[in-house]
């Protein structure tokens, strides 16, 4: 080893130290944070299950409600209501809900009338749904989502303890053919590994509106969406970021607790969706920004150090060893999470996605900054 080190120039040694350091940080991030959802176990609760209110906001979602709403209404749970907030729909949503209310006595709906002079986002619909809810425990999902089993509500409620305000679940997307679908599902899984992993480590920072639960009294007691109502996004991540802490948040990762959604069909649609989601990142707490930046920056430094090690300095073996070591850890952790969350079909595309996605996120943030300056 001493002979090998003496054979290196000072510049080569610096590059190898940087490469080893960022590779170690990346490896630790995977093993400490991204493995947390895999290690999470179902909480065995023998307590009586309290009544629950499920809130679904729908704007021109008649077709999706017809396909998926029954999966929510037919949960194996003793006492629950489902409230659909019809948010200015111009399709047959009201007619459909009226028909379904004849069949399902636990279904109710409330309407927001269309006003061309007054625009609003999803936060108003959620707030109205929460005001209409009869129960303390609320579960939120979207009209284009469905629970994968009839134990969805039971699993979420079993996760609550006396000091729990938030339960964060996994909301995946349906599998389909094509590169874009695989990219969407990889991105969704990666985000879930991060927010669920950090929440289990007592650093919650976001959830997804497709599968999230919290206490109604907590929502109104802390002002709801008041601080960020002016933003079109943030009904899930910003609300959690402001109000979740190390003691009041738990995660649920049982296979019967997931929801699935219809993914974007085209890359362009996904780009617009990602731009909207990423627009809230600048409003996160400072500590959250630091936590999220560690993984992203060390990943960028890792690939940069690989390039520098190979091309100016010819450290081919060292660079290959560092890359393969990280890759094996990465694929192992992703494989375990894919098994946990019933995802498949993109494992061997991860080395490509791992490089492409940060570049895309950077481009989306630049576009968001440009759009913000143009307003």
Q: Are strands 166-168 and 249-251 parallel, antiparallel or unpaired?
A: parallel
Percent of the chain with pLDDT over 70: 95
Interatomic CA distance for residues 90 and 108, integer angstroms: 19
Span 337-348, average pLDDT:
97
* Cβ contact 259:147 at 8 Å: yes
Q: What is the pLDDT of residue 2?
A: 67
Q: What is the pLDDT of residue 371?
A: 54
The dihedral formed by the CA atoms of 257, 263, 268 and 273, expressed in degrees to the nearest 10: -30
Which domains, from first to last, does the chain contain? 2-34+287-344 (no CATH), 41-265 (3.90.550.10)
Strand partners, 287: none
What tens digit of pLDDT does each residue of 314-335 get?
Answer: 889 999 999 999 999 999 999 9
Span 124-131, average pLDDT:
96
Q: What is the pLDDT of residue 365?
A: 72
Span 225-235, average pLDDT:
88
What tens digit of pLDDT does each residue of 139-196 get?
Answer: 999 999 999 999 999 999 999 999 999 999 999 999 999 999 999 999 999 999 999 9
Q: Are strands 212-215 and 137-142 parallel, antiparallel or unpaired?
A: antiparallel
pTM given for the model:
0.93
Q: What is the pLDDT of residue 372?
A: 44
Residues 6 or more apart from 308 whose CB is under 8 A from it? 15
Residue 368: pLDDT band by 50, 70, 90 thresholds?
Answer: low
What tens digit of pLDDT does each residue of 33-47 get?
Answer: 999 999 999 877 667
């Amino acid at each position: 080893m001493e002979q090998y080190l003496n054979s290196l120039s000072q510049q080569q040694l610096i590059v190898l130290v940087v490469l080893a350091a960022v590779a170690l940080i990346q490896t630790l991030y995977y093993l400490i944070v991204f493995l947390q959802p895999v290690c999470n176990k179902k909480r065995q609760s023998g307590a009586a299950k309290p009544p629950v209110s499920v809130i679904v906001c729908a704007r021109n979602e008649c077709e999706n409600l017809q396909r998926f709403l029954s999966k929510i209404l037919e949960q194996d749970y003793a006492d629950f209501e489902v409230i659909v907030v019809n948010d200015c729909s111009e399709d047959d949503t009201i007619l459909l809900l009226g028909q379904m209310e004849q069949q399902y006595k636990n279904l109710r709906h409330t309407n927001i009338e269309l006003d061309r002079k007054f625009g609003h986002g999803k936060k108003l619909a959620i707030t109205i749904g929460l005001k209409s809810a009869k129960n303390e425990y609320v579960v939120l999902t979207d009209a284009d989502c469905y629970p994968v089993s009839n134990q969805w509500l039971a699993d979420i409620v079993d996760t609550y303890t006396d000091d729990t305000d938030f339960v964060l679940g996994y909301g995946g997307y349906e599998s389909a053919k094509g590169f874009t679908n695989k990219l969407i599902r990889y991105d969704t899984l990666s985000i879930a590994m991060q927010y669920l992993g950090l929440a289990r480590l007592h650093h919650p920072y976001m959830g997804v509106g497709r599968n999230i639960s919290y206490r109604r009294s907590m929502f109104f007691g802390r002002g709801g969406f008041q601080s960020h109502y002016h933003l079109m996004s943030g009904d899930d991540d910003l609300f959690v970021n402001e109000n979740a802490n190390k003691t009041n948040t738990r995660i649920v990762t049982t296979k019967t607790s997931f929801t699935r959604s219809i993914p974007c069909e085209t890359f362009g649609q996904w780009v617009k969706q990602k731009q909207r989601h990423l627009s809230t990142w600048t409003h996160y707490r400072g500590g959250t920004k630091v936590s999220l930046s560690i993984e992203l920056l060390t990943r960028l430094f890792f690939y940069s150090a690989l390039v520098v090690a190979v091309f100016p300095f010819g450290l081919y073996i060292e660079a290959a060893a560092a890359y393969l070591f990280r890759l094996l850890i990465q694929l192992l952790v992703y494989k375990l999470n894919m098994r946990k969350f019933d995802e498949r079909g993109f494992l061997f595309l991860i080395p490509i996605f791992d490089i492409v996605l940060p570049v895309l996120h950077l481009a989306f943030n630049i576009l968001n900054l440009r759009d913000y300056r143009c307003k």
